[in-house]
Amino acid sequence: PEFVVDVPKEIEGLVDKGEFEVDEIETTEPIENWEEVLASLEYSGETVEITDQQITGVTGKELAPKGWKTIHSAPDLPPNNHGTQIEDTDDNMREAIKGRVLELAEELCVNAGYATGFRGEVYGALMRHIRGNFLDNMTLGLADRRCLDYAWKTLDQVKAKVIAVPGLVGGMIEYANK
């Protein structure tokens, strides 16, 4: 009871004439042969990798007592050879791929109109697809570094291709165990 918030009956400026437009929500039928459709997706072998970035400065505005004030930040410090290096091991790459595919699965579920609780079905389908296309049919745990790097670089393509096929994610969910 102490967390209940009173909602005002009338909100200033809101005019309710009792007229509402109700339209049907356009839904796409799930694709029953989703496995065949997913397997038919083709990917470009070319990938783009950004290996370095440098911020030369950031400009912002702040409201001060006497008006707007422009703020300029300092550029990045010049690189030194004493910087901390993060070891990029195969296990780190495997964890990154798993995490990113799980994020993709959740995002694809929501975009297709399903609850994120169905991410397991989509995640499983995506991982089987990735294994077959980018990991030389090896599991993520057995894939070599070359395959792991290639899979990581193509995840955005996988997302774009899956989104481009209406009903594909719905098929993964609706017909996952059939």
Q: Give the orientation angle of helix 119-134 with respect to helix 145-163, to 10 degrees.
A: 130
pTM for the full model? Answer: 0.67
Question: What is the mean predicted confidence (pLDDT) over 66-84?
Answer: 67
What is d(CA 120, CA 106) in angstroms, rounded to the nearest whole number? 9
Beta-carbon count within 10 A of 8 CB: 7
Q: For residue range 157-171, list pLDDT tens digits in order.
A: 999 999 999 999 999
Looking at residue 57, what is its pLDDT?
72
Which tokens hold the place of 111?
A: 């975009």
Greater confidence (111 vs 10) lies with 111
pLDDT tens sequence across 44-61: 877 667 777 776 777 788
**Looking at residue 68, what is its pLDDT?**
84
Burial class of 109 by CB neighbour count within 10 A (0 to 12, 13 to 18, 19+): buried
pLDDT tens track for 11-33: 666 666 766 666 666 778 999 99
Given this model, what pLDDT does residue 59 score? 78
* pLDDT surpasses 90 at 40: yes
CA-angle at 104, arms to 126 and 154, nearest 5°: 65
